[in-house]
A and B are shown apart, each in its own frame.
Chain A
């Protein structure tokens, strides 16, 4: 140590050299190495690394485009999207900020009605920034969640905007509308499915720089907007009022006739192909399409009280069946409604003529058809005797119809089946249209060559082949619009938000099948089937004051029969109105009347009065005024505060009878009240001294009575009568139902509607 301190201390030469070497290595060489590496990263790999960095830094927020609104033809909203919010938690944030899990789970569970344990289990994944608590939460609930967040200063509970599909009319037109799935897109049912690409908008995006926790970067200003393009609006040809009329009376028929397999109704404008209404009893609520209503669930539970698996399978099957629109999915034998087609072919081919005086003879059960073992019969084995062509249809005679078909011949008949479109879909703009089962041309011709006319005979009265209701309506429409097969459609036009028409479904005529003259003749026959109170099988469809035409039909559902082992009838009525220039073709088919039904199972007794009820409501709605004088029910005028003489004159001119109570010159009160619709000839009581009595009376049971007897019974009880149903007169016209149940207590002077049916009709 001592020598070290005292001796010469400067660095020696070797050390200086080595310092210089170190200077070169540490001061220059090492930095050159770093410079090369940095050049490599910053210049050569710049593009790639920057892209990768930006990819992780940019977060795109999808701005969901609003789905288009669905309007009916009157502008009523049937389907719309509304803003809701999704509630989610960030388990990572809960973990990092140490927020109270129990508090959050309990609070959210109380507000949103979500299982608390589910929320707690979603909090376990602490790496996640997004766990859904509840999607599509309404404004009120979302506000409660916001209050909850503020109250507890939570940093891990969030809301984001979303949309939800609403169907304000619930079950109404559910089969036409369809529904959207969890992703908010159409699910292949209804116009939500078939017009999905129009209804769906183009989602927008907001691209922002986000930090690693997904929050906007401070001070960073990069933002890129792609505006969302909202979906287009759909304007339906459906009129919600007509739709509701169809649905209402279908349900009434379901109750009245104990329909076990449902029923459906389809109204179309035959001139344009626009569907006005389309209803099927097996409907659902598109707002909750995935949930079966409680009533049906209980009914199924009763069927499978112990078997959970079978019960759930039945629930699922029922649910999925409820989404099916029978008007386009279901295929069935049209029955005698199809005789109109045979008639049209015969008229068009000049085989028969309406007023040529030709008579057909029906012996009931004697007709032999080549190739057929047993002789052909009319319904119930009835012998119609001698019939002219109109009467053949009025009375729906199988034997005469087959005779016409024989004269037409299998080749020509088959050509017409093709022309009427039995081998093709109608082209309706709804998803999943079915095609009926029809003979192949080959089989048909082979049978014809072998002189086997069984198929021809059966086809002439609508049996042994199937078609969809919409196909039948399209064929009947051709009979009533001058012979044109039009393509049916439910969407009138698609419109952009700014009012631009994106697509318009104009009337598409496929071809003309029959001439205008033939069409006129068929309509005339159809009218005779309804307006002839003695012979028309469709007379229960008559609507007082309107000219309507129609044809009954009865067939069986062989598929269902195979399953149940019982007779499963389908009774139908197809109609056109007004007959001079039809604006509506309406088909109603009712399936499997059950044991509680009390009338003869036939199109004329079940489907025809249902059609009558529907048209009674629809025709005035379509601005058709009933022709004088066939007004069955009339409105009671307001005569209070008028002189007795004045009141008496007014009432008698309208067609009422008058009874005066008390002494005086001024009418103080009247019964029935003004504005009530009651049957013509009703006796109106005028009170001159005091107000009408306000007591209550019990409704008598008038079901099964004739009209006059029922009226007398009701009037005796102090009630008034409004008549609906058939306008036919006679012994066989009976009250089928009454609007207030027997023994129900109502105010004196109330109006009871009685529904009348002509029970004298034979089958078909």
Chain B
């Protein structure tokens, strides 16, 4: 199919006509989902759940807030339940036609903005930030919904604006307004990491949608300036920058977490200390089963193991774009690429933070970090990609 794109326009035209002719049939007879993508998700999820068990074992055992009651498998058990239910959700979502997502995209955006507005009112405060809405049995972050909603909404907008995407009025302004609104709401919580992800995935969607490249250069300048202001005016953010640049100079203030993370990763060496053998998880590394689980993975499985896991992520992401490239419709293609970009951005930011490549901010690692609702939304995003994969027409022989 990639070669199709390089064919003369004539050939493309005829091909799309053929597809148009086949459309009713493919709509009723959906193809099976993309098996490699599905298996990669399952594989990463399984490794992730096992790593939650290993990483959370000590902190659950020594838990002092008595959430776990000293039960070392507390987090593992809950994560397993969310993983299984999440996979079921993913399969359900994958059965929806992509057109359904286009139908709900506007409402999705509206709902997520509404929830973000609600957060400062009814939200639950954790660690001096109000990001959560309680569901009773668990909390969830509306920003997770916003991430998915923005992909769907932007894909819809791009498909609607079509050639007008080249103009400022359609190709830039509406997107910037939506992103600014969401980012502003997120900064109220404050939730920098979610804002960064929203911006990242939004920009990726605009890039795919055909916005003129010049605007990205200008936009980057604006964001850099804004970022500078944010870093200098938000106390906890600028402290993070300091401990990012020189973690060993502030060991007991901001640097503690990143130092402990580097100790863990560094201790891993080539082959790691062995599964379950992490020493840094014994209360040295905070958030060891959440945002910093990758450090424990690196300590236990070593460079080799980490490279293997990152390769699985990379293959999964490449496969996601592959599905996008083969999608039947422009909307489906944009959605698949957007969801894949979301996954890629999250993964890169998380590993970047844990390895001190980027300043510390709370970003979870997809499929690995403990957290039920975040896992659900990740798997829903994967379900959307699988849904796109089901509409890829079967390759005609000859």
Q: Which residues of A contact B (CB under 8 A)?
A: 1, 3-4, 8-20, 22-23, 26-28, 30-31, 33-35, 37-39, 41-43, 45-46, 48-50, 52-54, 56-57, 96-97, 209-213, 215, 217-220
Contact = CB atoms under 8 A, between A and B. Distances in A.
Contact of A53 (B5, B210, B280): B280
Contacts of B208: 15, 18-19, 22
A714 B333 CA distance: 130
A681 to B, nearest CB: 88
Interface of chain B, helix or strand or loop or mixed?
helix
Given A26-B344, A26-B348, A219-B276, A12 B330 contact: yes
Contact of A27 (B19, B57, B314): B314
Nearest to B248: A52
B160 A13 contact: no
Contact of A45 (B5, B266, B270, B282): B266
B303 A42 contact: yes
A46 B266 contact: yes
Contact of B267 (A23, A49, A217): A49
B134 interface: no
B256 to A, nearest CB: 10
A11 B333 contact: yes
Contact of A220 (B210, B279, B345): B279
Q: Mostly helix, strand, loop or mixed at chain A's interface?
A: helix
Nearest to A56: B284
Contact of B307 (A1, A18, A38, A220): A38
A27 B276 contact: no
Contacts of A48: 266
Contacts of B334: 11, 15
A33 B313 CA distance: 14
A224 to B, nearest CB: 15
Interface stretch (B31-39, B220-228, B349-357): B349-357
Contacts of A54: 267
Interface string B279-321: 1101110000000000000100011001100110110011011
A408 B344 CA distance: 110
B283 A49 contact: no
Interface residues of B, number: 68
B242 interface: no
Contacts of B317: 23, 26-27
Contacts of B313: 31
Nearest to B280: A53
Interface core residue of B57, B279, B283, B345 (most chain A CB under 10 Å): B279
B20 interface: yes
B310 A34 contact: yes
A215 to B, nearest CB: 8
Given A8-B20, A19-B321, A213-B283, A34 B352 contact: yes
29 contacts: A1-B160, A9-B328, A9-B329, A10-B329, A11-B334, A15-B334, A16-B2, A16-B325, A26-B321, A26-B344, A27-B318, A28-B318, A34-B351, A34-B352, A37-B357, A38-B265, A38-B355, A41-B262, A45-B266, A54-B267, A56-B263, A57-B279, A57-B284, A209-B279, A211-B62, A211-B284, A217-B279, A217-B282, A218-B61
Nearest to B286: A212
B64 interface: yes
Contacts of A212: 282-284
Contacts of B302: 42
A57 B263 CA distance: 11
Interface string B333-348: 1100100110011001
Contacts, number: 185
Q: List the 6 shortest-distance A-B pairs measured between CB atoms, nearest first.
A: A49-B266, A26-B344, A211-B282, A53-B263, A23-B321, A212-B283
A38 B306 contact: yes
B268 interface: yes
Nearest to A219: B276
B168 interface: no
B269 interface: yes
Contact of A30 (B207, B321, B344): B344
Nearest to A96: B64
Given A41-B355, A48-B266, A15 B282 contact: no
Q: Which of A4, A13, A54 gathers most chain B CB within 10 Å?
A: A4
Contacts of A213: 62, 283
Interface in B240-289: 262-270, 276-277, 279-280, 282-284
A136 B283 CA distance: 32
A9 B355 contact: no
Contacts of B141: none
Contacts of B64: 96-97
B292 to A, nearest CB: 14
A630 B306 CA distance: 101
A219 B317 CA distance: 37
Contacts of B268: 42, 46
B151 to A, nearest CB: 13
Interface string B207-218: 111100000000
A14 B210 contact: yes
Contacts of A16: 2, 5, 325
Contacts of A41: 262, 265-266, 298, 355
Nearest to B283: A212
B57 to A, nearest CB: 8
B324 interface: yes
